[in-house]
Amino acid sequence: MQVIEVSKLLPKTEGCMVLAIGKFDGVHVGHKAILRKAKSRLQPGDTLAVMSLWPHPAWVLGGQKAYERSLTPFPEKVRLLEEQGVQRLFTVNFTPEYAKIAAEEFVFQHLSRLSLRCIVVGEDFHFGAGGEADATVLTSMCKELGVPVEVVPDVEEQGIKIASSQIRKHILAGRVDAAEALLGRPYVLRGEVVHGDARGRQIGFPTANLADNGDYVLPGNGVYAVSVALLDGGASKHNWFGVMNVGMRPTVDGLTFQMEVHLIDFSGDLYGRDVEVTLLGRVRDEQKFAGIQELQAQIRRDIEAVRQLFGLSSV
C-alpha cells in the first residue's frame, strides 16, 4: 500500500480514486462498512484510497490523555487497511494549524486537487474548523466539483452505534468480548518482551513481560485468556495459549503496572522478542491474596480454566 504523508495540501496523484475519509482508529465493523461501500464504487483501474488523521484530534486539540493511545497504532492501522484492500493512504499530520482549515478550503483547495470518482464518509462525519460542517455540507460542496458523496449509515450493535470511543470504554473496563464484537476481531497488543523482576519464575509460573510502548489502549486490570505469536522472524511460527495478568500484582506488593503472560506448555527464552498478544477473554478480576500459596493455587485454576476454554489437555 502506498502511504502518503500530508502536512498541508494533498499531492496530485495519477489515476482516478474512490476516497474514504475518517479517523479509522480501530478499523472496526463500522469502518469496514464504509470501505465496502467505497469498493462498490470502484471502476476498472480506480484506486481505493483512505484519508485519515494522525494523531487523534481529541489528543491534539483537547489534550485528552486517553487519546494519546490508539486502538490501532499507525503501523497496525496500515496493516489492517491493506487487508481491507486499501491501495493508498493519505495520512494527515493533524496539528492545531491544520485544524483551522475551513470547510470550504478543505473541499475547494484540498480535495479538488485529487481525481475523484467518489467520496465515502460515515453518517457522523464532520470536517472544517471546529467540526463546522457535516456530511450534508460535504455532499453539497462536492457537487460543485462534480464529485458524488456516499454517506454510509451508522452501524449498530444491539441498538448502540459502533464507535471507537465505545470500543475504548470496553477495553479499559476489561470487556474484551464486547470490544471484539465491535471490532470484528479480537483485540491485539504488540510489543517487546522485556525483563521483569522474575517473581513469576520464583513462584513457579515464569512469565513474558510485555513492554508498554505507550501506543495501545490497554485493557483494564485483570486476568485474561490470550494467544501469543512471535513477530520477529524467529524460527518457530507456533502460537501459544496463555494467561495474562494486567495490573499491579498486589499479592507481591507490586509497585508498577505490568502485563505478564504465562505461556501454557512453553519453555524457552523470549527476552527481546517481538510478540503479538491476542486477548481472547477475561478470566477474572485482579485481586490480592493472603499469601503466595493462595496465589499459586489461583494461578493453577486460571491455567486450567484456559486449558478447558481452548480444549488443551490438562497436565
Distances (CA, A) of 84 to 25, 35, 39: 14, 7, 10
Q: Domain 186-310 has what CATH class?
A: mainly beta
Distance CA 194, CA 309 (A): 28
What confidence score (pLDDT) does residue 202 get? 72
CA 146-29-217 angle, to 5 degrees, is 115
State how far Cα 260 lies from the chain centre: 20
Determine the pLDDT at residue 237: 56
Choosing among 3.50.50.60, 1.10.10.60, 3.30.70.260, 3.40.50.620, the CATH entry for 2-154 is 3.40.50.620
The edge-to-edge listing of strands for the beta sheet with 116-122 is 2-6, 88-93, 47-54, 17-21, 116-122, 149-152
Rounded Cα gap, residues 10 and 52, in angstroms: 12
Helix (H, G, I), strand (E, B) or coil at 306: helix
**Residue 234 confidence class, pLDDT cut points 50, 70, 90:** low
Q: Give the pTM.
A: 0.92
For residues 259 and 223, what is the distance between their CA atoms, to the nearest angstrom? Answer: 10
pLDDT tens digits, one per residue of 134-144 = 999 999 999 99
Query: What pLDDT, on a 0 to 100 scale, did the predictor assign at position 17?
Result: 98
Residues contacting residue 45 through CB under 8 Å, at least 6 positions apart:
15, 16
- CATH 3.40.50.620 spans which residues of the chain? 2-154
Average pLDDT over residues 244-258: 85
Q: What angle do CA 31, 239, 303 make, to 5 degrees?
A: 100
CB contact at 8 A, 278 and 227: yes
In a 13 Å sphere around the CA of 63, the CA atoms on its Cβ side amount to 0
**CA-CA distance, 77 to 283, in Å (whole number)?**
28
Percent of the chain past pLDDT 70, that is, above it, reads 95
- Residue-wise pLDDT tens digits, 75-123: 999 999 999 999 999 999 999 999 999 999 999 999 999 999 999 999 9
The tens digit of pLDDT for each residue in 272-300 reads 999 999 999 999 999 999 899 999 999 99
Residue 8's pLDDT band (cuts 50, 70, 90): confident
CB 135 within 8 A of CB 105: no
Distances (CA, A) of 43 to 16, 40, 46, 151, 217: 9, 8, 6, 19, 37
- Which residue, among 160, 117, 91, has the nearest Cα to 19 in the 3D structure? 117
Query: Strands 208-210 and 258-263: what pairing?
Result: antiparallel
Ranges of H-type helices in the chain: 29-40, 57-60, 74-83, 103-105, 135-145, 164-172, 176-183, 199-202, 292-310
CATH 2.40.30.30: which residues of the chain?
186-310
